[in-house]
Amino acid sequence: MSNGPSRITDFIKKALFVDFIKGLAITLRYNVSRSITLRYPDQEKWVPYRRFRGQHTLNKDVNGRELCVACELCSKACPTKCITVVPMEDDSGRGIADRVAKVWKVELTRCLFCGYCEDACPTRAVRLGRDYELACFDLSCATKSKEELLEPQSIPETIKGGFVVKAKFVRSPEGIKVVPDLRMSKKRLL
Amino acid sequence: MLDTGTLIEVLIIIVKAWILTGIIFSLPMPLTWLERKVAGHIHVRLGPMRVGPHGIFQPLADTLKLILKEDIVPDRADRFLFKLAPLIAMIPAFLVFVAIPFGENVTIPFINKEVSLYLSDMNVGILYVLAIGGLGIYGIIFGGWASNSKYALLGGLRSAAQMISYEIALSFACIGVVMMTDSLSLVEMVRAQAGGMHHWNILYLPIGPVWFVIFLIAALAEMNRIPFDLPEDEGTLASGFHTEYSGMRFSYFMLAEYVAMVSVSVLIVIMFFGGWHPPLEGALFNLVPGIFWFMAKAIAFIYFFMWLRFTLPRYRYDQLMTIGWKILIPISLVSILITGLMKI
């Protein structure tokens, strides 16, 4: 360790503050580098990938008929028993079969977003979507009914996701939401 | 008898003192903002962003919070000293600026009066700065002593020990500059460095850079900044001497710290970087008023201190003492010898 030449170089390095200058160069580089802060919820929002498992959605086919045939496999597969399905006969052409769901609701407080329901679904009616802002002011919004889930998703399926977009912070009586600007003018990768 | 000329002179000095105090009093506000911004960007964060554009009004919000906070005096604390300490820390930090020159005489437009950009040009300016600057430490020691808290007491004691060790090296560095410029007056010191960068004391080879480094290290220790912020060592002493302080009294300590940082930056500029003189001779450089050169250099050093703070870890207490007594003081003694030989 303490042989001649290395001690001399150590002394010269100390006298010229070599290590200090190295450290200062690193911090200066970080100082001028781009910050990685995601300015959520003020100005930016993360758009998840399609594989993301957020709030459930119920899908329709191209003719606008409900894909759900109320087979109740999702509620059977659910490990926390948070999905309730009540089937009914309906020949008005609302669903793809005569059997549609009278009630299809999910209790998000108990849901653990495992995705077993979408695996179990034979018609790909139920999917876990990309909405992740689920907080609200009272418990009533924690149970999502069929009508709410049938509405189109806030992020269309055509968007691949996996980037940050500009967003707007919206405060309303129903709760707070961060609305992403999906025109993708200013997207950046995280 | 008092004639009009004397009266106007006195009036000008009073006005200058008011303006200077106002500027220095409000200076810590942008500096706290700057420090948090520098910290943020070095950490690859953004720092304050929410109050105003780029968080520029964050210091105002902080000031409001500090004013509204309860002013707690700990039970069984020495109440008189406890309340006195922040003022003792703060006032000398301001008094230092009495002797600091910011530029040569300027003529104020409209009233055609020539005014000097300093409160007084003492012929022992540097001694005054050292003496007054050393007083501020009493605030820290009193604060630590009066708090009736072990952390505060340890912080105060460390501060005292640190002060004793580094004041010597700091004074030696000042002696070096006095030898290089043949004057104790800060104004004369700057005048001696006129005429381009190669006349600055930092380039008084080979000894100028050595004095600069000694002064820089000792001054860092004197103003309790990282890597020598042992008196308020968050890691081991909660927050050292101001552990028990809250509200405005706490902010007085912070104010003193930031003003000390400004005065050290300004002193470095005056003593080593040619004060208000531009770095090169030439009409183009002389177009810019001296005060702007002065401010630009001082701001560069303020940034440097912040940059240093978020780069270096804190020294251990024994390392601090080793650097002070075993390295800085012997080097400064040798440097004085070399400076003397160069002056022959």
Three-class secondary structure of residue A178 per DSSP: strand
Q: Would you state the pLDDT for residue A13?
A: 84
Of A24, A27, A35, nearest to B45 by CB-CB distance is A35
Q: How far is B42 from chain A (nearest CA, A)?
A: 4
Alpha-helix residue ranges (DSSP H) falling in chain A: 4-15, 18-32, 73-77, 116-120, 146-150
Report whether B170 contacts B215 (CB < 8 A): yes
* B153-177 mean pLDDT: 88
pLDDT digits (tens, 9 = 90+) for A58-106: 988 888 888 888 888 999 999 999 999 999 988 887 888 888 888 999 9
Of B46, B49, B312, nearest to A23 by CB-CB distance is B312
Element (H, E) at A103: strand A99-107
Report whether A129 contacts A153 (CB < 8 A): yes
Q: Would you state the pLDDT for residue B304?
A: 92
User: How do the residues of chain A divide into helix, strand and coil, expressed in percent and rounded to 5?
Assistant: 25, 25, 50
Q: CA nearest A105: which of A139, A65, A146, A136?
A: A146
Q: Would you state the pLDDT for residue A79?
A: 93
Report whether B167 contacts B132 (CB < 8 A): no
Retrieve residue B52's tokens.
């105003």
Q: What chain A residue is nearest to B42 in terms of C-alpha separation?
A: A31
Instruction: Kindly report the length of chain A.
Output: 190
Report whether A155 contacts A130 (CB < 8 A): yes
Domain extents in chain A: 1-33, 50-159
Question: Do B312 and A39 make contact, defined as CB atoms within 8 angstroms?
Answer: no
How many Cβ atoms sit within 10 Å of the Cβ of residue A2? 6
* B212-228 mean pLDDT: 87
Q: Does B65 touch chain A (CB under 8 A)?
A: no
Report whether A52 contacts A161 (CB < 8 A): yes
- Tell whether domain A50-159 is in CATH 3.30.2270.10: no
Q: How far is A183 from chain B (nearest CA, A)?
A: 25
pLDDT digits (tens, 9 = 90+) for B37-93: 999 999 988 888 888 888 889 999 988 998 898 888 888 888 888 888 898 888 888
Question: Do B307 and A35 make contact, defined as CB atoms within 8 angstroms?
Answer: no
Domain extents in chain B: 77-97+121-343
Q: Would you state the pLDDT for residue A120?
A: 92
Question: Do B307 and A42 make contact, defined as CB atoms within 8 angstroms?
Answer: no
The rounded percent of chain B whose pLDDT value lies above 90 is 13
ipTM above 0.90, yes or no: no
